[in-house]
Structures are given as C-alpha cells and as structure tokens.
C-alpha cells in the first residue's frame, strides 16, 4: 500500500514537499514515480526514480523545479516542488512497480500499485 501526504494550498512561487510512504518491506526493489491529474485532464507523468535512487526522470514541465528522491531505509519517496505555478494544481499520486533496473520508468501503464492521491493547489 502507498499513502501520500504533504499536499495543500500554496501561492505561486512557493514550495511544497510531498511524501509517499509504503508498507511493502521490499520497497528497495521497486521503481517509483509521481503522476498528477488536473480537473478535466488525463493523469500525466511528473517524475520517476529507479529502485536504488540512482536514476531519475522528469516531465519537461517540472524539470529544474521538482526533485524526486527515494529512501529505501524509510520506505518512502518524496517530491520536492519549488517555484510552483498555478498549472501545477492537481491531485498528485505516487505509484510503484517491481523493477530492479537502471531505468526510471515514465509510462503510466507500467505501474500496478497506486496511492489515493493528495491535492496540491497553487493560487496565483
């Protein structure tokens, strides 16, 4: 199971840090990612990290502003979001897939496990 936290309301230009806690003890063998879904839009890729945290990938829209990290000891991943924009408003979901590779997986269809989501609202 995955559980997100850290969402909220922030002004444009501000920062938020999302966390995703996993109950699976083998999180160290999972690749993970963040996706988001804005009202009326499809869920889209935001950031991904491979099983050991050594490889990351980002959507162009967040590159340079967001940072994904993975802590296998604490069974968590985080998404540090800086310089937030109103377009970043969405429900943010963490996702996991068993994968011990050097790849950060960006395809939404590859992820079988999902959290319930946390709302991020950026006001202008």
18-49 residue pLDDT tens: 999 988 777 778 999 999 999 999 999 999 99
Instruction: Report how far residue 121's alpha carbon sits from residue 87's, in angstroms, rounded to the nearest whole number.
Output: 9
- Separation in Å, CA 122 to CA 38, 41, 46, 48: 12, 17, 16, 22
- Separation in Å, CA 82 to CA 15, 18, 22, 108, 110: 4, 11, 24, 23, 27
Can you give the pLDDT at residue 23?
A: 82
Provide the 3-class DSSP secondary structure of residue 49. strand
**Chain mean pLDDT for the chain:** 94
Complete DSSP assignment for 6-60: --EEEETT--EEEEEEE--TTGGGEEEEEEEE-TTS--EEEEEE-TTS--EEE-T
Spell out, as residue ranges, where the chain has pLDDT lower than 70: none
Beta bridge partners of 10: 122
Can you give the pLDDT at residue 104?
A: 95
Q: Structure tokens of 1?
A: 């199971």
Q: Structure tokens of 86?
A: 């109103």
Can you give the pLDDT at residue 27?
A: 75
């Amino acid at each position: 199971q995955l559980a997100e936290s850290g969402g909220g309301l922030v002004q444009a230009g501000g920062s938020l840090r999302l966390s995703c806690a996993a109950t699976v003890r083998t999180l160290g063998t999972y690749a993970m990612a963040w996706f988001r879904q804005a009202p009326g839009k499809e869920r889209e890729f935001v950031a991904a990290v491979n099983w050991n945290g050594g490889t990351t990938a980002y959507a162009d829209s967040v590159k340079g502003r967001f940072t994904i990290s993975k802590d296998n000891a604490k069974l968590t991943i985080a998404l540090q979001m800086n310089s937030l924009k109103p377009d970043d408003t969405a429900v943010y979901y963490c996702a996991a897939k068993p994968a011990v590779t050097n790849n950060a997986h960006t395809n939404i269809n590859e992820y079988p496990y999902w959290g319930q989501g946390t709302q991020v609202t950026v006001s202008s």
